[in-house]
C-alpha cells in the first residue's frame, strides 16, 4: 500500500499539513508539490506502460492448437468474487478474474484438456473466487466432473503450494494476468510445480506512434502503475526470501 502513488501523495499531504500548522510553510509547500508529482507521474499511461512492459513481455500468450505433451490440467489463479442478488456471475467476478476464467475455459475446451483447476480463497465469511470461477465455467459448458476447486489459498504463494500438492511435478497450463505471470511462475516453480505460461488480460497500450492520451494523467494509467509496482515488490519479496 505504501508504494502506491495515491498513498504516497496522502502521506506527503499529511506531513505537509503538520508542517503548515507548525508554520513551516516552505517545506510544507514542497511536500505538496512532491505528493502531486507522485500522482501525476503515476497516472501517465506512458509510465504505466514502461513499468508493465518488462512484466508482460516475459511470457507470450499460448498460441498452440493442441495441449503440450502430458498436460492434463489447466490452472486459473484467483482474483475477486463478490456475488450479490440480482447480478449475473459475470458482474460478480472482477475484471481480472472474468478475463482469467474465460481464457481458461477457452483453452480447456479448445485443447481438450481433462481437468480445469479453479483457484482462489477468501477471508472467512466471504465468497471465494474459485467458487465464482466454477459457477462461470459450468455455465459455459464445463462439466462438474472436470472441475477441481482449490478455495483455501489467500495469496499466490499459497496457491502455488496447493497446486503443487495436487498436480506434483506434472506439467500444466497456468492462466493468470500477463503482468502477474512472472511472479506466479517463480512461486509455482519454487513450490516444485511445472507450469506452462498462458497469460491473458494484457494491459499494454496497443497501436504504433504517438498517442496523446499516453501523456495525460488518467485513472487507467494510475491503475497500470499500481499493478506494476505491486508485482515488482512481490518479485523483490521472492528474491529476498520474504514471500
Structural domain boundaries enclosing 145 = 73-197
Q: Does 213 share its domain with 173?
A: no
The answer to whether residues 90 and 173 belong to one domain is yes
* Mean confidence (pLDDT) of the chain: 92
Shared-domain flag, residues 97 and 165: yes
Q: Is residue 44 part of a domain?
A: yes
Q: Is the same domain home to 220 and 147? A: no
Question: Could you tell me if 47 and 130 lie in one domain?
Answer: no
Ramachandran angles phi, psi of 55, nearest 5°: -80, -50
Same domain? 193 vs 96: yes
216 and 191 fall within a common domain: no
Torsions phi, psi for 183 (to 5 deg): -70, -40
Residue with the three cell numbers 478475463? 99
65 located within any domain = no
> Which ranges of the chain would DSSP assign to H, the alpha helix?
5-21, 25-42, 45-56, 89-92, 95-111, 129-139, 156-167, 181-190, 219-239
Q: Quick one: pLDDT at residue 12?
A: 86
What CATH number does residue 159 fall under? 3.40.50.620
Give the pLDDT confidence of 194-212 residue by residue, as tens digits. Answer: 999 999 999 987 755 557 7
Q: Is 179 in the same domain as 95? A: yes
Q: How far apart are CA 123 and CA 168, in angstroms?
A: 26
On whether both 188 and 214 belong to a single domain, the answer is no
pLDDT class of 2 with cuts at 50, 70, 90: confident
pLDDT at 61: 93
Is residue 150 pLDDT above 70, yes or no? yes
Determine the pLDDT at residue 209: 54
Same domain for 111 and 42: no
In a domain, 63, yes or no: no
User: What is the pTM (predicted TM-score) of this model?
Assistant: 0.89
Report whether pLDDT(94) > 60.
yes
CA distances for 35 relative to 10, 32, 171, 213, 229, angstroms: 7, 5, 46, 22, 17
Counting the structural domains of the chain, the total is 2
- With 60 as the cut, is the pLDDT of residue 64 above it? yes
Q: Is the pLDDT of residue 99 over 70?
A: yes
pLDDT, tens digit (0-9, with 9 covering 90-100), for 134-146? 999 999 999 999 9
Whether 110 is in a domain gets the answer yes
CA dist., res. 84 & res. 89, Å (int)? 9
Q: Are 140 and 187 in a shared domain?
A: yes
Amino acid at each position: 500500500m505504501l508504494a502506491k502513488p495515491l498513498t504516497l501523495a496522502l502521506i506527503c499531504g499529511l506531513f505537509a499539513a503538520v508542517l503548515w500548522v507548525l508554520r513551516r510553510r516552505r517545506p510544507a509547500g514542497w511536500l505538496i508539490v512532491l505528493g502531486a508529482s507522485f500522482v501525476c507521474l503515476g497516472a501517465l499511461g506512458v509510465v504505466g506502460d514502461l513499468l508493465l512492459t518488462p512484466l508482460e513481455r516475459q511470457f507470450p500468450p499460448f498460441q498452440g492448437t493442441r495441449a503440450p505433451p502430458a498436460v492434463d490440467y489447466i490452472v486459473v489463479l484467483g482474483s475477486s468474487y463478490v456475488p450479490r442478488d440480482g447480478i449475473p456471475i459475470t458482474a460478480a467476478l472482477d475484471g481480472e478474474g472474468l478475463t482469467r476464467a474465460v481464457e481458461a475455459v477457452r483453452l480447456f475446451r479448445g485443447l481438450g484438456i481433462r481437468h480445469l483447476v479453479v483457484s482462489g480463497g477468501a477471508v472467512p465469511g466471504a465468497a471465494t473466487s474459485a467458487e465464482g470461477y466454477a459457477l462461470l465455467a459450468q455455465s459455459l459448458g464445463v462439466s462438474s466432473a472436470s472441475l477441481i476447486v482449490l478455495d483455501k489459498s489467500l495469496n499466490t504463494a499459497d496457491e502455488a503450494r496447493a497446486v503443487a500438492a495436487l498436480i506434483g511435478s506434472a506439467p500444466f497450463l497456468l492462466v493468470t494476468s500477463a503482468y502477474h505471470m512472472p511472479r506466479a511462475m517463480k512461486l509455482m516453480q519454487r513450490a516444485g510445480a511445472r507450469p506452462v505460461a498462458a497469460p491473458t488480460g494484457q494491459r499494454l497500450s496497443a497501436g504504433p506512434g504517438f498517442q496523446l492520451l499516453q501523456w495525460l494523467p488518467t485513472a487507467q494509467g494510475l491503475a497500470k502503475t499500481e499493478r506494476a509496482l505491486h508485482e515488482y515488490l512481490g518479485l523483490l519479496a521472492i528474491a529476498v526470501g520474504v514471500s
